[in-house]
A = this chain, B = another copy of it.
Amino acid sequence: MTDQQEQIRVGVLGARGRMGLEVCKAVDAADDLELVAMVDQGDSLVNAADAGAQVLVDFTTPDVVMDNLHWAVEQGINMVVGTTGFTEQRLERVRTWLSHKPEVGVLIAPNFGLGAVLMMQFAARAARYFESAEIIEQHHPRKLDAPSGTATHTAKLIAAARAEAGLGAMPDATKEEVSGARGADIDGVRVHAVRAAGLVAHQEVLFGTHGETLTIRHDSLDRTSFMPGVLLGIRSIVTRPGLTIGLDPLLD
């Protein structure tokens, strides 16, 4: 980054929460960003406007995020939203607000993990070229669901890409199976969920065809892994008016 480049002024809503705190640290550490406002329960949003914030990052709760969004769009301030709970109805309301402020940009993303998003993109892209595809996800043993949401989503993307390319069922001569050995069947894609102490969150997507395999693996070790995605969102949204959903469109 050159010194001449102007910094983007950033405010954080939910600044004392677990994620908000990490965002504050990450913004503070980035040369091209300036942390100008930290807002949490009891603080007024007006502080953020007064401080000249160009982008607000929102990691708050579903019950306040819509008010925050409405206010920010009205003020002409861009937003990066990691708060959950967005239904199609809610997204529609945001689109309406933005239609009156066409210069404002809003990014709403369910997952800020760049690695996970890229893994899914690459998997969807590779799927049509390989006879076989299977997913092995590995998580800590306190996880309640198997397979993970990310693995299920990846499987659906692969299945859709295969269908579009006219690929049939994958080769599999299994005759004798101990129940469960071949994993869960998600739209025809086998998904295996490993649970072990010492693991955090990992996923491997294996593609195979004659004489070769291609493997895409993502290892996530802690929640700071979401920060590069948040920073990418901040840097992108200032020149990206309208509503953007998910990191995918930013990765092109």
User: Contact residues of A with B, CB < 8 Å?
Assistant: 1, 113-116, 118-119, 122, 125-126, 129-134, 136, 138, 141-147, 152, 166, 170-186, 190-200, 206-228, 232, 251
A86 to chain B, nearest CB (A): 23
Contact in complex: B224, A210 (CB < 8 Å):
yes
Interchain nearest-CB distance for A220 vs B (Å)? 5
Task: Tell me if A196 and B141 are in contact (CB < 8 A).
Answer: no
CB < 8 Å: which of B136, B147, B176 contacts A146? B176
9 contacts between A and B (CB under 8 A): A122-B125, A129-B232, A142-B171, A145-B176, A147-B181, A197-B209, A198-B211, A198-B213, A210-B224
* A209 close to B228 (CB less than 8 A): yes
A214 touches B217 (CB 8 A): yes
Contacts of A215 in B (CB 8 A): 215-219
- Which one of B200, B208, B227 contacts A196 once the chains associate, using CB atoms below 8 Å? B208
